[in-house]
Structure 1
Amino acid sequence: MEKVKTLIIGSGPAGYTAAIYAGRSNLQPVLYCGLQPGGQLTTTTVIENYPGFKEGVDANTLMIEMREQAVNMGAEVRDGAIVKADLSKRPFVLEDDHGNVIEANTVIIATGASAKYLGLSDEEKYRGQGVSACATCDGFFYRKRTVAVVGGGDTACEEAMYLSSLAKKVYMIVRKPFLRASEIMQRRVMEKENIEILFNTNTLGLYGENGVEGAHLVRFKGEENEEKYDIAIDGFFLGIGHQPNTELFKGQLDMDEQGFLITNGMSAATSVEGVYAAGDVADPIYRQGVVAAGSGAIAAIEAERFLQAKGEK
């Protein structure tokens, strides 16, 4: 059985930054990249708002650089995923997808969250070419253009409000005859002149030659009546929430009702001593690469201090 001081589960800005800090602290961290090396950030193209890159930076390039930096700092980065975890006692016992069993004195969970999609084949076809699940990440590319946001909750309203400050026109595609968002968010989107809410409407598909050029919609007018029509758009944003990748830890760590890991205030500490959470897996609010990176640093610093206090460094 392999024994490690710090096991990091998941890559992306949180996981890689945790590995950089843990490696620099001589914790000989082992990081498993997971099913999506580089994390959710790699589903976008150019990142405009990550500090240090005045012209922006390619998302995949940034993740490759972070991975190489982690390796240079002494981390062992492995492709593959952790599929079993027993966090009932220390050292924690985990198993990867090749059947290898690992004993870890500390664990940093950076498994992220996955955006919820409608399940349309066109979403995958146009991903990175007009389809996005993050207005803050990609909204800049749609200045003075027309976009659509799917959803009727607070997330969708927040995305629509952000985009309305950039785009010429924002459609909100809402399948119900009302918004589920808080009253203040409903009022904001309804009062915004360049936001048009399409109630009782579902998306059937997207179209376009070199990226999204429009959406096929259906509007329900009653139990049996419906109207199919198209709208011309340049961008299609999902605002129906995110699902944290925490299935592996259910029943072992405290989570909120959505499944996000609960940490102790500004700390990265979870409900189990020696287990830390970083990035989107514990962040239902901000979901930004720079925030995830910062939380990865916090997790690694706390893991190092914990091991030092236990005399296990």
Structure 2
Amino acid sequence: MGIIASVISQQFPPKSKFQVQDIPDLTGKVVIVTGGNAGIGKETVKALLEHNAKVYVAARNKWKAEEAIRDLEMLTGKEAIFLPLDLADFSSIRRAAEEFLSKENTLHILFNNGGVMACPIDQLTKDGYDLQFGTNVLGHFFFTELLMHALFNVARSSPGEKARVVTTSSLANYFGDLDWDTFTDTPARKKKGTQFLYSQSKFGNVVVARELARRYGDQGILSFSLHPGSIKTNLFRHLPNIIQSVMNLVLHDVSYGALTQLYAGTSPDVVDLNGRVLLSVGKIKKAQPKSTRSCCG
């Protein structure tokens, strides 16, 4: 009942006390937003640029990313930077991290925002993993680990300051678990189906975010996972048209969806909430107990 109540409450959330204008000045801050060329990611980049951050838009499609960057420059007067990144390809992830580290010594905020949902069951990553788990979890985990030195450098260069890793999960995580037999293309994976695989990936996001907080909290890293709300984005493009039509009746605008991750990434109010799950701005939800036991190492 608790999960069902949370789902219902997210369809009709109270007005957020945190708004874009509450973001502090981000001059001198370096930020990466994965999937920053569309949807919640693009709205997040817009708010960050408006508050003077140096923002890298990490995305797979160069044409779409550059189009978004031009659009955002017209809206904000600030230009984001394109960082080629395909989260479904480990070699692309490694190249993206190397390119970023060749330009920057510090990374103040990493928004692990990009993702896929309800993909056709036959779709895999380049390295042979389930596309949803490989993109949403493994891709972001690998990218984050490759950037840890730049994240650590925030506290090293400015004692008392903390870097932040903000991972976009979903309420679907409460219906997920980690079935190790479904991470690659196995009969067990096909039997589970695409909806379970999505929930599994969103649960995996929570597991990784909590583990980052546990491992690196004493080294100046804040790590959060969150549910952005039920938002109108192209994430639902693989769902049947009738389901998309029904969902559009209750989905919220992307400007609302960006608020929770902007709150996690920029507000001083969250510094004592390391490892927690944010359902909406200012609303904290306990993670599933199994999200702790599922961690490795």
TM-score, scaled relative to structure 1: 0.30
Largest Rg, 1 or 2: 1
Higher relative contact order (CA 8 A, sep 6+): 1
TM-score, scaled relative to structure 2: 0.32
Q: Structure 1 or 2: larger strand share? A: 1
